Amino acid sequence: MTPDPSDDRPTERTPPAVAVVDAQSPGNVGTIARAMKNFGFEELLLVDPPELDPDGEAYGFAGQARADILPNATELEFDRLVDDYHTIGCTAVTNEDDRSHVRFPFSTPADLAERLPTVEAPTALVFGRERVGLTNEELARIDEICSIPANADYPVLNLGQAATITLYELRGLTLSDEDTQLPDLERVRASEPTVDRLYDQWGDLLAEINHPEEKHDKTMRMLRRVFGRADLTEREANTLLGVLRRATERPAENGN
């Protein structure tokens, strides 16, 4: 299905579905379901799936996806998949150039992450069977190709791992920053005045310990590099400031 690009109506967008074609190992289906749950995807489509025994590896590997994604998966024919969805086929093996369009050109998962928000059709990420992936016949019927950049010496990822990486890269389609488990680091980053006080205190300490005058600027530059990279939190900067202040004042107290 292709969206009509001259149609300007805003449409409600659902996250891409994940389709697995002819997987042999139930464990891989479970692994994919778990990655879907981890990154906010919900719709699992299965073409010619292996048997998914509730006491077997599919459910064993699915983590919390065993409660919803796996039991709610839809079994369908490959024909219906390509008819009903904008399909993105994932493959490790692309063509070298544009003489054949079956496996070329391709997008990387990172490319897709940028571009997919503009695709308004129901979309499915399609993963093929273990070992041989999607066949040329299948890829020829699929709308576009996605390939994960990997080591040229061994670019073939395990099915579950390929799906995990793709869903990770596309998490922006389903999860905003506020939907992740990670707190907002900006909120606690040390303010510039605090960081400036920290460098001033380092300067005082260098003077106090008679650090050679001619090395002062170079050492201060080194310190700025170190703490610049470290992205201190306000609390870290204040703790460090306290430590440095005490270190600076100690010799004077000893000298009294």
Catalog residues that contact its own copies under the rule CB under 8 A. Answer: 5-6, 31, 34-35, 37-40, 61, 63-64, 92-99, 101, 104-106, 108, 115, 118, 147-152, 154-158, 160-161, 164-165, 168, 171, 174-175, 177, 179-183, 185, 187-188, 218-219, 222, 225-226, 229, 231, 233-236
Report how far apart, in Å, the C-alpha atoms of 162 and of each of 28, 70, 147, 195 are: 10, 18, 9, 42
Q: Which residue has the tokens 């796996």?
A: 70
Q: Is the Cβ of residue 105 or residue 251 nearer to its own copies in the bound state?
A: 105
Residues 170, 148 contacting (CB under 8 angstroms):
no
Closest to its own copies by CB, 38 vs 135, is 38
Decide: helix, strand or coil at residue 107.
strand
Nearer to its own copies, 153 or 253 (CB): 153
Shortest Å distance, C-beta 48 to its own copies: 23
In the bound complex, what is the minimum distance in angstroms from residue 96's beta carbon to its own copies?
Answer: 5
What's CA 69's distance to the chain center, in Å?
A: 20
Q: State which H helix or E strand residue 192 sits in.
A: helix 192-208
User: Closest separation between CB of residue 255 and its own copies, Å?
Assistant: 28
Q: How far apart are CA 204 and CA 243, in angstroms?
A: 13
Q: Which is nearer to its own copies, 231 or 249 (CB)?
A: 231
The whole-angstrom separation of Cα 240 and Cα 54 is: 54
- Would you say 126 or 190 has its CB closer to its own copies? 190
Give the nearest distance from C-beta 80 to its own copies in angstroms. 25
Least Å from the CB of residue 204 to its own copies: 19
Cα 94 from chain centroid (whole Å): 22
Decide: helix, strand or coil at residue 47: strand
CB 39 within 8 A of CB 174: yes
CA dist 96 and 198 (Å) reads 54
DSSP annotation of 178 reads: G
- Compute the least distance from the CB of residue 242 to its own copies, in Å: 15
DSSP string, 51-69: P--TTSHHHHHSGGGGGTT
Closest to its own copies by CB, 78 vs 240, is 240
Smallest gap, in angstroms, from Cβ of residue 157 to its own copies? 5
Q: What three-state secondary structure class fits 110?
A: helix
Q: Which is nearer to its own copies, 85 or 171 (CB)?
A: 171
